[in-house]
């Protein structure tokens, strides 16, 4: 499937950094323990909103071994980093520890630094605060929530309302209707690697080790916060222990850590506790979706209206981009989208895997299922009948859309033809109710400015220094495979440096643009390298001989690439550590990745426990750049979808604010025994219109639609429709006994 | 201000710890409040065991204590006196030759970000030694103390099962 076929042995497609990971040799940011290391901990606020009337750190400071307690009493010389979605760098614009205001429960009120972690932990527990409390709002239904229309608040084109045709009229005159509201709770990314950093100064240079998806934002954000030159900030993040959007910007602890390290003249390490993480950084905002769908008497969908609100903080506006995919899933001519902020007293929410697309697809694909049943049609056949080859919003074709093929192939693998349409009509041998559900997903394909630097050595090795971060998605593998296939060398002859501001600009790696963007830059650099080596544009290269023939020890090549419609201005923006918000603009087409999921659930009739014994998912992500890691990405996305649909919700007590269930015990994520057989396949058609190597995004689309397929399967099993996630035993019990 | 003695603030009580870590003898004075995980990571520089929750809920810190799997975050360091502690760093052969389970993790892509992997490997070895790898469902059950947020569960089951089959 390579666009440049080679006459070489197939490359080893196993994950290239797996050996380091199975031996414990991979060093994550807080695995470092430099000489003279001091340990930091945080004390946090216990009210929902208000101000600190009195802060007493004397008991904390008196603990033997305590070196420093930083709080607003110290008048820290630190600026706001700005909000990553508001022209800044931070996970939120509010930098704690600067004044006495408490904007949300769990906000940091003091940073304690001590000789040992034990002393720092003891001391943080001795920080005492007296508060003046104020009323607050913590859920979508709380009094005091401020609602703002998105386009009226942020008049940017990509956040505008969607109005295609006249959806209200088309809906009013449709033969069949669905009008339903779906609720998505707040959720927490909970990567296994706790958020944390090891920070030190080397002379005037600040050195930050933190697992991140955005070393560039940390670098430039710290420069802004501390008033220093970005050239004096190094951010190093070779391994990130899972990100899922939570590690996509500058966290609130790094600035204070830098001040502490400077004051002490020692390296300082902080590992934020799991309990504190639920309030320390971003989360998926709660959202509520009203979906209205209309179909004609033949079951052709003619109108869709998607109105959505989601929570954001008082201090930042985390944008809503839910209707971008719901307007494209089907060939619905008349579409209306409305998106509304609901401001309340929490830390700023942010990105969590498939941030908008997962909740949007849960709502929309549940509604489509309801409409299919209203039309007495098989949900698979109903979806196929409403497929489109044209983007109904722009009227232009998709650069590639093999969604119908995903559905057909998935149905065959799943054995969908044996399904009985009537709910609660299928039973397993043990008496469990069996439900089969289907749903589709989409995710916009994107490219951001990227840069790659290749060094070919006389020893035949290729060093790749590149813009990109490794969070487990396998970016090292995709790069190694591309270089190995291109030059006809082994994947282990390729050394890859990622997540390091010392070697390349480090743009945010997120939004499933990492592979397309990074591979585009590496691909361009490979061409330049071949030119430097005097080689043909294709065919195997004896790298060692070719380098020696130049008379040099090594040969270098660089490339900087942009997405379509992006300019040098965007590249400059990226070099400043800011996310690319303009483009890509594709001439005459639009590009999305697509996926179809088929889910079997079994509902045990007495306890109503829901199990998911098998899932079949077929993705159209263009060319599959790295088959092993790609399949793992999709399986991971399915696991996330199962967690989202059956387990995960940040529980809020409106009396106290904050999240009550701030542990992995009370915020259950899927465990091994929750996951059955996951059958993953790819269409594998390169999208060369979109990308020189033919890849689209994969990590996010993998999850999109899974929750709807689960919910649709639960409906099929029980005959009861659940419109609020997660679907728990008590929900099914209530439904079946009602 | 070194933290050595107990104080009015109710802090450190220290005791001597003697054990082996990956075969190497270790003698250390530890705070009685220190977990085995923190001692391994912060005092001995053995960072294979990872901190994912510090509450025994995620399994990333799993190590072997005299061959038995424990979550090192819930194991007081003083308690391991006289014991042999094995972490993921002690699993491969002396010349770096991978254990078959480590190789199986690579072959079945039983990992993504790698952060939970040291704990998964240690639990996987125990799962095999305990005789709890008879079929996929049994492996799923006995590996459920180790969370993997990337969702590499299918690969983990396949890797443990592959080694179980080799051992037959």
Task: Say yes or no to pLDDT of B5 above 50.
Answer: no
User: Domain check: are B68 and B113 in the same one?
Assistant: no
Nearest CA in chain B to A469: B113
User: Domain check: are B83 and B22 in the same one?
Assistant: yes
Closest CA to A710 of A613, A592, A605, A593: A613
Q: Which CATH class is domain A18-22+447-574?
A: alpha beta
Chain B nearest-CA distance from A161, in A, is: 34
Contact across the interface for B157 and A672, Cβ inside 8 Å: yes
User: Domain check: are B86 and B109 in the same one?
Assistant: no
Q: Which residue has the tokens 């309801």?
A: A370
* Mean pLDDT on B136-144: 98
In the sheet with A101-102, reading across from the earlier edge strand, the strands are A101-102, A50-56, A128-133
Q: How many CB pairs under 8 A join A and B?
A: 214
**Strand blocks (E) in A146-254:** 146-149, 162-164, 176-184, 196-202, 205-210, 233-236
* Domain A152-186+284-445+591-737 in CATH 3.40.50.10490: no
- Residue B5 CB neighbour total at 10 angstroms: 10
CB < 8 Å to B42, chain A: 33, 39, 116-117
User: Domain check: are B79 and B104 in the same one?
Assistant: no
Query: What pLDDT shows up at residue A3?
Result: 44
Task: Say yes or no to pLDDT of B7 above 60.
Answer: no
Contact across the interface for B113 and A471, Cβ inside 8 Å: yes
Q: What is the CATH number of the domain that holds B44?
A: 3.10.20.30
**Strand blocks (E) in A79-152:** 101-102, 108-114, 128-133, 146-149
Q: Are strands A450-457 and A554-561 parallel, antiparallel or unpaired?
A: antiparallel
- Report how far residue A630's alpha carbon sits from residue A643's, in angstroms, rounded to the nearest whole number: 20
Residues 6+ apart with CB under 8 A from A280: A42, A44, A106, A108, A195, A251, A252, A253, A272, A347
User: Domain check: are B70 and B111 in the same one?
Assistant: no
Q: Which structure tokens are listed for A504? A: 């390349």
Q: Domain spanning A32-134+193-242+247-280: which superfamily? A: Aldehyde oxidase/xanthine dehydrogenase, a/b hammerhead (3.90.1170.50)
CB < 8 Å to A274, chain B: 52-55, 57
- For the segment A146-162, what is each residue's pLDDT rounded down to a tens digit? 999 999 999 998 899 99
Q: Measured at the alpha carbon of residue B145, what is the angle toward residues A278 and B123, in degrees to the nearest 5?
A: 125
Which residues face A202 on adjacent strands? A205
Q: What is the CATH number of the domain that holds B130?
A: 1.10.150.120
Contact across the interface for B52 and A193, Cβ inside 8 Å: yes
Q: Are A498 and A468 in contact (CB under 8 A)?
A: yes
Q: Are A479 and A518 in contact (CB under 8 A)?
A: yes
Query: What pLDDT shows up at residue B4?
Result: 39
User: Domain check: are B65 and B129 in the same one?
Assistant: no
Query: What pLDDT shows up at residue A688?
Result: 93
* B138–A contact, CB cutoff 8 A: no
Which residues face A295 on adjacent strands? A176, A301
Contact across the interface for B109 and A273, Cβ inside 8 Å: no
Q: Is residue B3 part of a domain?
A: no
- Report how far residue A719's alpha carbon sits from residue B7's, in angstroms, rounded to the nearest whole number: 65
- Report how far residue A327's alpha carbon sits from residue A393's, in angstroms, rounded to the nearest whole number: 7
Chain A nearest-CA distance from B126, in A, is: 15
* B160–A contact, CB cutoff 8 A: no
- Report how far residue B132's alpha carbon sits from residue A29's, in angstroms, rounded to the nearest whole number: 34
Which secondary structure element, helix H or strand E, spans residue B29, and what is its range? strand B24-31
Query: What pLDDT shows up at residue A530?
Result: 97
- For the segment B47-96, what is each residue's pLDDT rounded down to a tens digit? 999 999 999 999 999 999 999 999 999 999 999 999 999 999 999 998 99
Chain A nearest-CA distance from B53, in A, is: 5
Number of structural domains chain B divides into: 2
A28, A64, A677 member nearest B115 (Cβ): A28
Boundaries of every domain in chain A: 18-22+447-574, 32-134+193-242+247-280, 152-186+284-445+591-737
* B51–A contact, CB cutoff 8 A: yes
Contact across the interface for A118 and B152, Cβ inside 8 Å: no
Nearest CA in chain B to A642: B151
User: Domain check: are B57 and B26 in the same one?
Assistant: yes
Nearest CA in chain A to B6: A64
- Report how far residue A353's alpha carbon sits from residue A359's, in angstroms, rounded to the nearest whole number: 11
Q: Which of B44, B63, B90 is the last residue of a domain?
A: B90
Q: Which structure tokens are listed for A471? A: 């969070």
Catalytic residues of A: 700
CB < 8 Å to A669, chain B: 147, 149
DSSP count for chain A of H helices, then E strands: 19, 25
The 3-state DSSP class for residue A497 equals: strand
Q: Which of B30, B58, B90 is the last residue of a domain?
A: B90
Q: Tell me which residues of chain A have a pLDDT lower than 50.
A: 1-7, 738
Contact across the interface for B55 and A663, Cβ inside 8 Å: yes
**Strand blocks (E) in A651-735:** 677-682
- Residue A176 CB neighbour total at 10 angstroms: 19
Same fold, A32-134+193-242+247-280 and A152-186+284-445+591-737: no
DSSP string, B77-93: GGGGTTPEEE-GGGTS-
Q: Which of B29, B57, B90 is the last residue of a domain?
A: B90
Contact across the interface for B7 and A192, Cβ inside 8 Å: no
User: Domain check: are B77 and B145 in the same one?
Assistant: no
The 3-state DSSP class for residue A199 equals: strand
Chain A nearest-CA distance from B43, in A, is: 9
Query: What pLDDT shows up at residue A516?
Result: 86
Q: Is residue B2 part of a domain?
A: no
Q: Which domain holds residue B153?
A: 100-166
Q: Which structure tokens are listed for A411? A: 């149905």
Which residues face A340 on adjacent strands? A149, A309
Nearest CA in chain A to B101: A22
Average pLDDT of chain B?
Answer: 93
* B95–A contact, CB cutoff 8 A: no
- Residue A548 CB neighbour total at 10 angstroms: 15
DSSP string, A569-638: HHHHHHHTTPPP-S----TT-B-EEEEEEEEEEEE-TTT--EEEEEEEEEEE-BS-S-HHHHHHHHHHHH
Q: Looking at this predicted complex, what is its ipTM?
A: 0.96
Contact across the interface for B98 and A22, Cβ inside 8 Å: yes
Contact across the interface for B147 and A27, Cβ inside 8 Å: no
- Report how far residue A175's alpha carbon sits from residue A294's, in angstroms, rounded to the nearest whole number: 7
Query: What pLDDT shows up at residue A736?
Result: 66
């Amino acid at each position: 499937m390579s666009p440049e076929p080679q006459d070489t042995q197939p490359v080893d497609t196993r994950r290239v950094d797996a050996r380091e990971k199975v031996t414990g040799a991979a060093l994550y940011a807080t695995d470092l323990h430099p000489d003279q290391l001091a340990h930091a901990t945080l004390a946090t606020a216990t009210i929902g909103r208000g101000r600190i009337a009195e802060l007493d750190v004397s008991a904390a400071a008196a603990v033997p071994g305590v070196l420093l307690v930083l709080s607003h009493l110290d008048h820290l010389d630190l600026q706001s980093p700005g909000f990553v979605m508001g022209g800044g760098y931070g996970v939120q614009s509010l930098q704690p520890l600067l004044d006495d205001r408490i904007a949300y429960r769990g906000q940091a009120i003091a940073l304690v630094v001590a000789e040992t972690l034990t002393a720092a932990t003891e001391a943080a527990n001795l920080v005492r605060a007296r508060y003046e409390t104020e009323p607050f709002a913590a859920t979508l239904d709380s009094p005091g929530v401020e609602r703002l229309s998105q386009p009226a608040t942020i008049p940017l084109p990509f956040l505008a309302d969607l109005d295609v045709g006249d959806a209200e009229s088309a809906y009013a005159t449709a033969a069949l209707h669905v009008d339903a509201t779906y609720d998505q709770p707040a959720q927490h990314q909970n990567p296994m690697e706790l958020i944390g950093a090891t920070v030190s100064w080397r002379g005037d240079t600040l050195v930050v080790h933190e697992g991140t998806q955005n070393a560039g934002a940390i670098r430039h954000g710290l420069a802004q916060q501390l008033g220093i030159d970005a050239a004096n900030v190094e951010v190093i993040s070779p391994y990130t222990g899972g990100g899922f959007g939570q590690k996509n910007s500058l966290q609130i602890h790094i600035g204070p850590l830098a001040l502490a390290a400077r004051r002490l003249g020692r390296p300082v390490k902080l590992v934020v506790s799991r309990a504190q993480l639920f309030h320390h950084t971003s989360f998926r905002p709660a959202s509520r979706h009203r979906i209205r769908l209309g179909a004609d008497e033949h079951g052709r969908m003619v109108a869709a209206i998607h109105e959505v609100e989601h929570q954001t903080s008082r201090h930042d506006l985390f944008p809503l981009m839910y209707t971008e995919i719901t307007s494209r899933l089907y060939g619905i001519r008349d579409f209306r989208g409305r998106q509304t902020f609901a401001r309340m007293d929490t830390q700023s929410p942010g990105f969590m895997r498939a941030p908008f697309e997962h909740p949007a697809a849960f709502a929309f694909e549940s509604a489509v299922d309801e409409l299919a049943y209203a039309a007495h049609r098989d949900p698979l056949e109903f979806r196929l009948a409403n497929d489109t080859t044209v983007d109904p919003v722009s009227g232009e074709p998709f650069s590639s859309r093999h969604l119908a093929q995903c559905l057909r192939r998935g149905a065959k693998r799943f054995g969908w033809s044996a399904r009985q349409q009537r709910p609660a009509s299928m039973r397993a041998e043990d008496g469990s109710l069996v439900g089969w559900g289907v749903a589709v997903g989409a995710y916009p394909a994107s490219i951001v400015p990227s840069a790659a630097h290749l060094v070919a050595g006389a020893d035949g090795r290729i060093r790749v220094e590149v813009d990109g971060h490794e969070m487990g998605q396998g970016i090292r593998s995709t790069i190694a495979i591309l270089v190995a296939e291109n030059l006809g060398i082994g994947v282990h002859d390729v050394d890859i440096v990622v997540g390091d501001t010392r070697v390349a600009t480090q743009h945010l790696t997120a939004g499933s643009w990492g592979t397309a963007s990074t591979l585009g830059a590496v691909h361009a650099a490979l061409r330049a390298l071949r030119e430097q080596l005097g080689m043909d544009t294709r065919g195997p290269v004896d790298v060692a001989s070719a380098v020696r023939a130049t008379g040099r020890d090594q040969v270098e090549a660089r490339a900087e690439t942009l997405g379509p419609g992006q300019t040098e201005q965007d590249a400059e923006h990226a070099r400043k550590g800011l996310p690319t918000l303009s483009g890509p603009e594709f001439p005459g087409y639009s590009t999305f990745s697509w996926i179809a999921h088929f889910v079997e659930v079994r509902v045990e009739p007495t306890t109503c426990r829901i199990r998911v014994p098998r899932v079949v998912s077929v993705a159209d992500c263009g060319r599959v750049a790295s088959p092993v890691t790609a399949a793992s990405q999709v399986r991971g996305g399915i696991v996330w979808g199962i967690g989202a649909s059956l387990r995960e919700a940040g529980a809020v007590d409106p009396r106290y604010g904050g999240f009550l269930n701030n542990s992995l015990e009370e915020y259950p994520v899927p465990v091994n025994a929750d996951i059955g057989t996951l059958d993953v396949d790819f269409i594998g058609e390169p999208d060369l219109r979109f990308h020189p190597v033919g890849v689209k995004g994969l990590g996010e689309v993998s999850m999109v639609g899974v929750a709807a397929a689960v919910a649709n399967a639960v409906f099929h099993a029980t005959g009861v429709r659940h419109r609020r996630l997660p679907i728990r035993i008590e929900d099914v019990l209530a439904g079946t006994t009602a | 201000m070194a933290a050595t003695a107990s104080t009015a603030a109710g802090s450190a009580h220290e005791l001597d710890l003697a054990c082996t870590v990956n075969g190497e003898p270790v003698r250390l004075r530890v705070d009685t409040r220190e977990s085995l995980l923190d001692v391994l990571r912060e005092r001995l520089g053995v960072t294979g065991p990872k901190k994912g929750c510090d509450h025994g809920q995620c399994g990333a810190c799993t190590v072997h204590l005299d061959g038995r799997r424990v979550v090192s975050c819930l194991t007081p360091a003083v308690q391991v006196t006289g014991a042999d502690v094995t972490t993921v760093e002690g699993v491969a052969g002396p010349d770096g030759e991978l254990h078959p389970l480590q190789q199986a993790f690579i072959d079945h892509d039983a990992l993504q970000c790698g952060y939970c992997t040291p704990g998964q490997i240690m639990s996987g070895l125990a799962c095999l030694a305990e005789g709890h790898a008879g079929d996929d469902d049994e492996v799923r059950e006995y590996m459920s103390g180790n969370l993997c947020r990337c969702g590499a569960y299918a690969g983990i089951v396949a890797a443990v099962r592959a080694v179980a089959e080799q051992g037959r």
